[in-house]
Amino acid sequence: MSAIIEFRGIRKTFPGVKALDDINFSIEKGEIHAIVGENGAGKSTLMNVLGGQYHPDAGEILYRGSLARIPNEFEALKLGISVVYQELRLCPNLTVTENLYLGREREIGHGKVKWPLMGRRAAEILRDLGSDIDPAEVVSRLSIANQQIVEIARAMSMDAAVIVMDEPTSALSLREAEGLFRNISRLTARGVTIIYVSHRLEEVFAIADRISVLRDGRYLGTYEKKKIGQKEIVALIAGRELSQAIAGARKAAPQEERRTAALEVRDLSRPGYFSDMRFSLYEREILGIYGLQGSGRTELLETIFGLAPSWSGTIHAFGQPISNRSPREAIRNGFAMIPENRRDAGIFPEMDIVENINTANPGEMSGVLGVLRKRFMGRLADESIRSLSIKTSSKNKKLRDLSGGNQQKVVISKWLAAHPRILLIDELTRGIDVGAKAEIYRILKDLREEGLSIIMVSSELAEVIAESDRILVIKKGSLAASLEGEDMTKERVIHYAL
């Protein structure tokens, strides 16, 4: 076999993060090549580089032995490289045939748009994939699995030689996943090369020929599936030396004083997302929750904070039964939540720091007839800027003009102003540079010392291990493990999460 794709010294840096650092390896023609690694290891970034979404800062890609320039998606497709992204890129309002030939409507008919011909071709391709999807069906009416097949069919219709699948099974049921694997073997039988990016080691070991491991943006090696075990791969993904170092440096958690429960969750279920969640959050504790994308980690927090339309089970806060039907009620019950998507749900980008900090404390910031107490608001902002060292030239600066780290500090300040007792955090440091991260972790510890009980959902393994007193691991909507003390190692967390 010969290499169809070769990565040579690929580097890519985002503000504050080295996403890819000197990646060198090659993909053989006709193989199923799996790429594994934890969240943020660089898998998706590398595939985005290959698909023309990102431009590497350094390095080159060889395609069929010669230097390939891939400035955009379309060039990648023309070369024969097709990426099926996690978020499918189909026009939901168009039919299967229309999606298949989008942008190439005239090619088949030699300059004329011939839909009937395209429809017949589409049907042929779908039949080859063993699918009975009607090419005239509108895409939004198809299941996710079938939409994925349409994406693969599109790649086939363009005579793709390499198909990249980025977490293809994350939205599929078990049966649908089996269908996908059958299609993958059909494709390889025709000589198509498959690059399979996944967290799920069972799948990887079931279908891949070779496995490459990335960690923290670096390439660790490529292994024949037959010559390596799952355990060894887990160790590689986790990085044994590092996690042991962290575990060794950990101080014993303050056992005796954190045994009063702040929050008790029993049999909490939300159909389609998670079921039978049962755990306690103790006072003055940082409880880390780790899970892969789609494991239900965000939905769990949303449910506790009153953002879910329906759920079952019981939640007790400080011994009292509560059922938050809206964030308003949750805030009244002493909860606060720092959301995952800061830009969309955390900040008011067009409002200034003073206003942002005062959005969750209506009782204090306004007086008779709802008249704003501007002096109070300003003072609160001054205090927050000082105590959390928010870097800004003025408290009247609009939030959209602050860096991610400072925006997050404003969000934290806003919730502190509402005097919460339980703080729910989803991806505390997403999109925040390294320096600001350290500061925010320090703030987190201070808040715990001041008496807050904190749940911190994170997809960053290093973060969740270093910052939590205890870790819950969630896998596919149910609780996989609760880890404490010595058990909080990268291998164990990953072992339960995968």
Partner 1 sequence: MAGKVNFLNAYKRVSGIKEIGISLALLGLFVLFSILSPYFFELENLINILRQVSLLGIIAMGMSLVIVCGEIDLSVGSLYGASAIITGVLLVSKVPLWLSILMGLGAGTFFGLINGVLITYVRIPALIVTLGMMNIARGLALITSGGRVVNLSPRTVAASDLGVFLFMGQGKILNIPVMSIVFIVVAIVIYFVFGGTILGFRIRAVGGSKNAARASGIDEKTIKIIAFSIIGFLSGIAGLLNISFLGNVQGTTGQGMELNAIAAVIIGGTSLSGGEGTIIGTMIGVLIIGVLNNGIILLGVSPFWQLTIIGVVIIVAVALDIWTRKGKRA
**Where does 374-457 have alpha helices with state H?**
374-387, 404-417, 434-449
Rounded-to-integer distance, Cα 111 and Cα 132, Å: 29
Q: Which is nearer to partner 1, 359 or 403 (CB)?
A: 359
Residue 309 burial by Cβ neighbours in a 10 Å radius (0-12, 13-18, 19+): exposed
**442 is a site residue for partner 1 (CB under 8 A):** no
Contacting partner 1 (CB under 8 A), which of 206, 372, 434, 438? 372
In this structure, what token pair is assigned to residue 227? 């010559």
**Where does 250-338 have alpha helices with state H?**
297-304, 327-332
Contacting partner 1 (CB under 8 A), which of 360, 425, 443, 456? 360
Nearest distance in Å: CB 349, partner 1: 7
Nearest distance in Å: CB 337, partner 1: 7
Of 400, 408, 416, the C-alpha closest to 358 is 416
Site map 396..415 versus partner 1, x via CB under 8 A? ------------------x-
Nearest distance in Å: CB 452, partner 1: 18
Q: Which is nearer to partner 1, 122 or 336 (CB)?
A: 336
**370 is a site residue for partner 1 (CB under 8 A):** yes
Q: Which helix (H) or strand (E) holds 60?
A: strand 58-63
Rounded-to-integer distance, Cα 255 and Cα 246, Å: 19
Site map 272..311 versus partner 1, x via CB under 8 A? ---------------------------------x-x----
Q: Which is nearer to partner 1, 314 or 326 (CB)?
A: 326
Q: Which is nearer to partner 1, 196 or 415 (CB)?
A: 415
Diameter of the chain measured on Cα atoms: 79
**337 is a site residue for partner 1 (CB under 8 A):** yes
**419 is a site residue for partner 1 (CB under 8 A):** no
Contacting partner 1 (CB under 8 A), which of 100, 122, 289, 347? 347
Region 42-81 residues binding partner 1, contact defined as CB under 8 A: none
Nearest distance in Å: CB 175, partner 1: 35
Nearest distance in Å: CB 320, partner 1: 19
**349 is a site residue for partner 1 (CB under 8 A):** yes
- CA distances in angstroms from 231 to 203, 223, 290, 498, listed in the order given: 14, 13, 20, 12
Nearest distance in Å: CB 140, partner 1: 19
Mention every residue, 6+ apart, whose C-beta is less than 8 A from residue 266. 278, 313, 314, 315, 316
Q: Which is nearer to partner 1, 252 or 371 (CB)?
A: 371
Nearest distance in Å: CB 418, partner 1: 8
Q: Which is nearer to partner 1, 321 or 370 (CB)?
A: 370
Characterise 314 by phi-psi region: left (phi > 0), alpha (psi -120 to 50), beta (else).
beta
Rounded-to-integer distance, Cα 355 and Cα 362, Å: 11
SS3 label, residue 328: helix
**Secondary structure (DSSP) of 1-38:** --EEEEEEEEEEEETTEEEEEEEEEEEETT-EEEEE-S
Nearest distance in Å: CB 359, partner 1: 4
Q: Which is nearer to partner 1, 131 or 413 (CB)?
A: 413
In contact, 84 and 155? CB cutoff 8 Å = yes
Contacting partner 1 (CB under 8 A), which of 87, 132, 256, 350? 350
**416 is a site residue for partner 1 (CB under 8 A):** no
Rounded-to-integer distance, Cα 327 and Cα 484, Å: 31
Q: Which is nearer to partner 1, 59 or 349 (CB)?
A: 349
Q: Which helix (H) or strand (E) holds 337?
A: strand 335-338
Rounded-to-integer distance, Cα 96 and Cα 150, Å: 7
Site map 316..335 versus partner 1, x via CB under 8 A? ----------xxx-xxx---
| Binding residues vs partner 1 (CB under 8 A) | 305, 307, 326-328, 330-332, 337, 339, 344-351, 355, 358-360, 362, 365-366, 369-372, 374, 414, 418
